[in-house]
Amino acid sequence: MKTTTIKNVSILDIPKIIDSQRRGNLCVIENKVLPYKVERVYYLFDVPSDASRGGHSHIACHEFLVAISGSFDVIVKDGKNTKTVTLNKPDKGLLIVDGIWRELDNFSSGAVCLVLASEKYNEEDYIREYASFLESK
Ligand code: TYD
């Protein structure tokens, strides 16, 4: 049984280097920013504003989501409670631990969702049916 809750889902600051000569900002995600070693990086882009992504939980994988451009909403559920987090800053990310249902929607034009995952892609790590997710909790 997975005991993680949405209290374990948190916004983390990404260290930002502001250029002294006004050449723009630079954000760095090193291993010390995240409580796991990054095994995989992927990103969602060109998502229509009426589309929904996610709709699953992971058995073992932890993910860190960053709106490196634009904005979108992330709805997280633990089977008892739900919260919606709007990601719209490239220097803040949402850490979603294992055993949490997530849905992503309301993508703005040009939004890019960067995901840093703790595990290699493995379809067996997904729970894609909400009823099965509830059973796993
Ligand atoms: P899916 O998990 O449905 O996307 P999302 O949860 O973001 O809406 O993945 C879409 C497809 O991409 C699905 O066929 C699995 C595949 N995929 C990979 O091959 N590797 C990956 O790392 C990811 C995240 C997905």
In degrees, rounded to 5, the angle at the alpha carbon of residue 100 between the alpha carbons of residues 98 and 105 is 125
DSSP for 12-73, please give it.
EEPPEEE-TTS--EEE---GGGSSS---EEEEEES--TT--EEEEEESS--EEEEEEES-EE
* Protein residues whose CB sits closer than 6 Å to any atom of ligand 1: 40, 42, 44, 53-54, 56, 121
| Residue 40's pLDDT band (cuts 50, 70, 90) | very high
Nearest CA residue ID for atom 13, ligand 1:
123
Are 88 and 12 in contact, with CB atoms under 8 Å apart?
A: no
pLDDT at 87: 98
Over residues 21-38, the mean pLDDT reads 96
Q: Is 62 a catalytic residue?
A: no
Q: What is the structure's pLDDT at 123?
A: 98
What residue's CA is closest to ligand 1, atom 5?
54
3-class secondary-structure state, position 116 = strand
Catalytic: which of 56, 71, 92, 130? 56
Strands 63-69, 40-45: parallel, antiparallel or unpaired by DSSP? unpaired
Residues facing residue 114 across a β-bridge: 43, 66
Domain ranges of the chain: 6-136
Alpha carbons 108 and 111: distance in angstroms, whole number: 5
> Whose Cα sits closest to atom 19 in ligand 1?
121
What's the pLDDT tens digit per position in 75-113? 999 999 999 999 999 999 999 999 999 999 999 999 999
Q: Does domain 6-136 have CATH number 2.60.120.10?
A: yes
